[in-house]
Amino acid sequence: MHSAHSSESPRVPVARAPALEGDLEQVAGGQELIIIAILVYFTMTVMMKSMGSGAGLLGLVALVLGLCGVSRMAKGMGMSPTRKILLVLLMFVPLVSLIVLLILNSRASSVLRAAGYRAGFFGASK
């Protein structure tokens, strides 16, 4: 008789690990854009105290850099379209976007280190 339970673990769909050099280059390029976006975000926060709403342009720059970086990194990491859309939508929520960028930067560093890249503060190098 066969048991109702299988010894196989359930399969959960996850983002595939980047296997091709092009995928890793996408991840590294996306990480670089995300790091710049984070720096611009912090610069904007400091400048808002002295410039007021004039620093809002930096917020727009941070948003565009973040969106480009998230898109590029998500493609390189093989994320599902649903996850990509969710990440893009979260980028429009103040403070949440910064948290998303920090988490994605950490994930990209892990993926790149596992592939033999050196991941530092200003991005990754082979």
Q: Is the pLDDT of residue 1 over 70?
A: no
Q: What share of the chain has pLDDT > 70, as a percent?
A: 74
Q: Is residue 124 part of a domain?
A: no
Are 98 and 37 contacting, i.e. CB atoms less than 8 angstroms apart?
no
Q: Is residue 5 part of a domain?
A: no
**What is the residue range of 86's domain?**
21-115
* Pairwise pLDDT comparison (9 vs 125), residue with the higher score: 125
Work out the angle at residue 31's Cα, subtended by the Cα atoms of residues 113 and 69, and round it to the nearest 5 degrees: 150
Q: Is residue 94 part of a domain?
A: yes
Are 91 and 126 contacting, i.e. CB atoms less than 8 angstroms apart?
no
Kindly report, residue by residue over 75-109, the tens digit of the pLDDT: 999 999 999 999 999 999 988 999 999 999 999 98
What confidence category does residue 10 fall into, taking pLDDT thresholds of 50, 70 and 90? very low
Q: Which strand (E) or helix (H) includes residue 125?
A: strand 123-125
Q: Is residue 9 part of a domain?
A: no
Long-range contact pairs involving 117-122 (C-beta distance under 8 Å, separation at least 24): 117/24, 117/28, 119/31, 121/35, 122/32, 122/35
Q: Is residue 10 part of a domain?
A: no
Q: Is residue 39 part of a domain?
A: yes
